[in-house]
Structure 1
Amino acid sequence: MDQRITIRRGETEAHTRLKRLAFVWAQRQGYSACAMEVALPRCRYRVDVAAYRPDGKQSGATAIFECKQALVDLRRDNGCTSTTMRRLKKVHHRREVLERNLRVHYPALRVADSLFVEFDSHNFAAIEHRGYKQVVRQIQALQNRLFDCTKFETLIRYRCANLFFLVLPDELFREPEIPIGWGALVQSNGELILARKPVWHETEPESRLRFLQQIAIAGTRVLNRQLEIAFEDVAGADCRP
C-alpha cells in the first residue's frame, strides 16, 4: 500500500511512511473521512493529515496530524510567540540604543532624504559596525521565527480542530518537546502507539463543517490526479443548475 501513496516533490520516504501510518490509525479510531495535505479553512497552514469522525446527530469530531521525521523539523514549528516576542523586544531596544549612539559618534551617516532634519535616515551599514550587524541579524531571525515557526501554537490558538496529534519515529519522542495540548503518536514496529493523549478543544459546528469540506476538496484533488483529469476537463461549459 505504500506504493499507492504518491511521494510529493521534496518529501522523504520516511515522512510519507509516517503520513500513511497516521492515515491508517485515524481510520481505525473511527475517522471515516481522511485526506492528506489539507489546506485548513481560515488559516494559512496546510496539514499532513486531516480527519473527521461522524457522531450521529452531533457535528462530529475533527483531528489534525502533523508528521515530523527530524528533530530540526519538529523544533522549527514549535516556537512560542510570547517567548519570541520578549526576546524580540529586548533586541529591538538594544538596536535603538546602538542607533542613538551611532548618530552621535558618526554624524556623517546621516542621509539628507527628507525636508526636515529630524526625519532624515542614517546609513548605519556603511561603517560595518560588528555589534550593530549582529543585532540586525538577531532581529531578522526572531521575526522569521515569530511569523514562520509557531505552527503548532497557531493551530491550537485558531482552534483549527478538536484534537491535534504529532506523529514521530520512536527515537524522536521527547516528552518535554511535545507542544502543549498536542497528543503524540510514536512509530513502533510499523504501528503507531499513543504516547500522550491530546487535549480536547471545542470548536463551532460551522468550523467542523468547513473542515470536512476541505477534506473533500483535498480528496477530490487526489482523485483528479489519479484519474488524470485536467483542469481543462472541468473548467469548460458551466453545467451547474
Structure 2
Amino acid sequence: MARLDTSSTPENPFKANWSIRGIWLVVAIYLVYSFNAMGLSWARIEDGLGHANTLLGRMFPPNFSRWELLLGGLAESLEMAVIASFFGIVLSLFLGLFAARNMMPNWVSIPVRGFIALCRTFHPVIIAILFVKSVGFGPLAGILTLVVASIGFIAKLFAEAIEEISLKQVEAIRATGAGFASVILFSVMPQVFSRFIGFSTYQLDSNLRNSTMVGIVGAGGLGGTLFSAFQRFDYDFVAAILITIIALIMFGELLSNIVRRIFR
C-alpha cells in the first residue's frame, strides 16, 4: 500500500497577490493626497465640532410658535409628493413596459431606456433648479422635479422586473388569440404587480423626503421655509422644521408598510 508523502510543505491557499496590493497602495496614496489637497485636518474637525455644539445649543428647545407657517409648508410638501408620485407612477408603468426588451422591439425599447436613463442622470436639486428657471418659483417646479425623479427610478426597476418574468405564461395567453392589452393584463402584470407596488411605495417615501429638499432652491414645500429660517439665523425654528420633517418621513414609512401589507 502506497504511503502518502507528508514531507512536502502544503501549498499556501492565500498567496500574495501583488496586483491587489498595488491597487490598495495606489488607493492609500490617493486618499492621503486628497486629504492634503482639500486641507482636511484634525484641527478643522475639532473646530467644526465646536461650532456644531454652539449651533445645537441655539436650536434647542425647538420653537413651534409659528405653527401656521410650519403646517403650511408641510401641507405643500405632502401635496407635492402625492401628486408627483401619482403621475410619476402612472407614467413609469407605461415607460417601464415600453423599455422591456423581451416585450418590445429594439427600436422602441432603446429610445425609452435612454429617456429613463436621462431622467436619473441628475440629482433632484439640479433638476429643480432647471424647472425653477423654466416655470418659475413654486410647487409646480417641485412637482415636475419629483415626477422626473420617479420615472428615473420606478420605470427602470419595472422594466427590469418585466424582463425577468416567465415567458411561458405570455405564450399561453397569446396562444388563445388574446391581444396585446390582454397579454399585459393577464400574463405580465400578475407576475410583477407585487414588485411594482413595492417600487411605488418606496418612491412615495422618497418623494416625501425630496419634497422637503427641492424647496431649498425655490421649488416649493417645507424646504423653502427651512432655507428662510437658516438665512434669518432662526435656529430654534429650524429645529422645529427638522422635527416636522422627521415626523413626515415616519408617516411615509408607516403608510408604505400599510400598503405593502394590503397588497402582499
Taking structure 2 as the reference length, what is the TM-score of the superposition?
0.27
For the pair shown, the structure with the greater C-alpha radius of gyration is: 2
Q: RCO greater where, 1 or 2, for CA within 8 Å and sep 6 or more? A: 2
Taking structure 1 as the reference length, what is the TM-score of the superposition?
0.29
Bigger fraction of residues in strand:
1
Bigger fraction of residues in helix:
2
